[in-house]
DNA sequence: GTGTTTATCGTCAGGCAGACGACTATGATC
DNA sequence: GATCATAGTCGTCTGCCTGACGATAAACAC
């Protein structure tokens, strides 16, 4: 049977990005304000159409660079300097998810260190880092008491899935280092875990665990007091990507 | 800016299925023979176009039913009788993955108990359960000594990703029961783990682990000797979906 | 009955995590 | 400069879980 273009319906394919970072002890996601209908004026995840000659991961990396200036790493490589971890998250294709047409969105998850203010096409008022708790508080109220409109399209679901992926993945991988600057202390890494999981961890047990896991952390020799208190050793991410045994998330 | 249909390139969207089962102590996948170009005569994963009014999970469930007669379960529900576990795996969209046109494939992973011979459009010679090891032996030789052509398209990659997902997911979830009939013994469940992981497990420690995990197994009261030896208790899958602590995969 | 197979219960030692005490080295404050 | 607050780092102890493996139980084949 020869190829028949009428045998399949045409779809638009987009990539949407869940870009997570840790700011001020809170897990935050990048949100952009929609300038056009539908959902005009509402907050949404950054994203865009996949181009005709582009792979999905290329499209995601391009969108990430356009929105944040970050370069993406290979998903299987350990976190390194000056870039973000980027991996495919899941694909969303409900026929009604976009009222204009049939759109299938391949969502990606990016993890980045704390960044300067975002730029969305150069217009800062149309992009921001917002605590995920706030973005997911459907119909609730933000930190400033203003009512918060839910995210556009099915982006609340996508963000929720991305956050859950990040929460579970830092358990058994060294991915939490993707939230840290190139050199970081054990305490800074612990605050990442605490922010992502929303729990408090025992500093002593955490220190024993991460320094005792071979290949997780490599001391650089330097120290810093940027967190106050006694000077802390600086580390880089080691070559290990999988933590065995995993970091245990406290119950409840 | 109004909606402009020319602003995005059209894609074909398909679902491809990695359907896994355990037969004769080996992890097997469903393969179908391609009847048309490209890759005519080669083995491939079952799949097809997503219809215009269909969600991705619906399309995957429809393809699964067409190929195997199985009904799909909700991915978050524990395994139950008469159906298969079905979940989204990943999406593959390399511009060159299909030489005819731009196709984005949303791969799904299905886990099923051992089934009767498959039916591919009623033609049994065009569908079979094959050990994944054999399907992934690129350019190697199958069990019968015949040379084996690699799977069509990027289906070897998709199958490989699906197998890895299954291998890791039975560690921390009760998903291994999806490979079992509605009632099964601890030994049968252990043989599932052994087939999927390709290792031997200690029957005594395995028994202690699975019977000691609350909500994993529920005794039905019956016994069976279908495996020979001393009669074994029969169990159903319990309500628990996550195993904590996980089942540990032996090193190396 | 004897041997084989599979299921099931027990024991023991080692490893790891949670709880928490103790000490150290900075900056901030009086 | 003494004191305090803040973080970081090292230890100890206890309990749980796992891996290794001995022992017993209940079926079937001969």
pLDDT score at B8: 82
Q: What is the DSSP string of B160-190?
A: HHHHHHHHHHHHHBSGGGGGS-SSB-HHHHH
Query: A5-169: which CATH architecture?
Result: Alpha-Beta Complex (3.90)
pLDDT tier for residue A115 given thresholds of 50, 70 and 90 = confident
Q: Are B132 and B207 in contact (CB under 8 A)?
A: no
CA A159 to CA A163: how far, in whole Å?
6
The CA distances from residue B139 to A226, B28, B101, in Å, are: 57, 18, 26
Averaged over successive runs of 10 residues, the pLDDT of chain B (252 residues) comes to 63 98 95 91 95 96 92 68 88 97 97 77 75 86 70 96 98 97 97 98 98 96 94 96 94 72
Cβ–Cβ below 8 Å for A12 and B11: yes
Distance from CA of B103 to the nearest CA of A (A): 10
* The pLDDT of residue A2 is above 60: no
CB atoms within 10 A of CB A137: 16
Q: Which two tokens stand for residue B8?
A: 């995005």
In this structure, of A63-67, A86-90, A177-181, B117-121, the range with the lowest mean pLDDT score is B117-121
For A37-78, how does the pLDDT look when each residue is reduced to its tens digit (9 = 90+)? 899 999 999 999 999 999 999 999 999 999 888 888 776 665
Question: Among residues B250, B216, B220, which one has the least CA distance to residue B233?
Answer: B220
Strand D lies under 7 A from the Cβ of residue B209: yes
SS3 (DSSP) at B130: strand
> What is the model's pTM?
0.92
Q: Are B131 and B27 in contact (CB under 8 A)?
A: yes
Strand C lies under 7 A from the Cβ of residue A204: yes
Start-end of H helices in chain A: 56-68, 132-135, 155-172, 186-197, 203-212
Contacts of B55 (CB under 8 A, 6+ apart): A93, A94, A95
Q: Are A80 and A100 in contact (CB under 8 A)?
A: no
Q: Which two tokens stand for residue B141?
A: 């030789």
CA A155 to CA A4: how far, in whole Å?
34
B interface test, pick of A37, A91, A106 with most B CB neighbours within 10 Å: A91
CATH class of B175-237: mainly alpha
For A122-169, how does the pLDDT look when each residue is reduced to its tens digit (9 = 90+)? 555 689 999 999 999 976 666 666 667 799 999 999 999 999 999 999
Nearest CA in chain B to A4: B100
Q: Which two tokens stand for residue B230?
A: 């001393």
pLDDT score at B143: 64
Q: Which two tokens stand for residue A3?
A: 């190829």
Share of chain A above pLDDT 70, in %: 87
Q: Which two tokens stand for residue B41?
A: 């005569």
Question: Among residues B197, B161, B157, which one has the least CA distance to residue B179?
Answer: B197
CA A25 to CA A191: how far, in whole Å?
7
A interface test, pick of B54, B91, B242 with most A CB neighbours within 10 Å: B91
Residues of B in contact with A91 (CB under 8 A): 56, 88, 91, 106
Distance from CA of A148 to the nearest CA of B (A): 25
Cβ–Cβ below 8 Å for B56 and A104: yes
Beta bridge partners of B217: B237
Query: For chain B, which residues make up each domain, given as ranges?
Result: 5-169, 175-237
């Amino acid at each position: 049977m020869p190829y028949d273009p009428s045998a399949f319906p045409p779809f638009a394919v987009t990539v949407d990005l869940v870009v997570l970072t840790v700011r001020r002890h809170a897990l935050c996601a990048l949100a952009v304000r929609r300038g056009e209908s539908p959902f005009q004026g509402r907050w949404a995840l950054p994203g865009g159409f996949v181009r005709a000659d582009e792979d999905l991961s290329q499209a995601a990396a391009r969108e990430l660079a356009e929105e944040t200036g970050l370069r993406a790493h290979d998903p299987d490589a350990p976190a390194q300097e000056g870039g973000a971890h980027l991996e495919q998250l899941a694909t969303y294709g409900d026929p009604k998810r976009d009222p204009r047409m049939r759109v299938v969105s391949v969502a990606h998850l990016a993890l980045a260190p704390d960044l300067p203010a975002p730029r969305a096409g150069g217009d800062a008022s149309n992009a921001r880092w917002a605590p995920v708790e706030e973005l997911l508080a459907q119909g609730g109220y933000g930190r400033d008491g203003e009512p918060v409109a839910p995210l556009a399209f099915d982006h609340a679901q996508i963000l929720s899935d991305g956050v859950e992926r990040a929460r579970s993945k830092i358990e058994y991988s060294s991915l939490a280092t993707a939230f840290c600057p190139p050199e970081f202390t054990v305490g800074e890494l612990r605050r990442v875990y605490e922010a992502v999981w929303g729990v408090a961890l025992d500093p002593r047990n955490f220190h024993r665990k991460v320094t005792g896991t071979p290949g997780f952390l490599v001391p650089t020799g330097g120290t810093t007091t940027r967190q106050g208190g006694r000077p802390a050793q600086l580390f880089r991410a080691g070559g290990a990507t999988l933590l065995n045994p995993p970091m245990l998330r406290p119950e409840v």
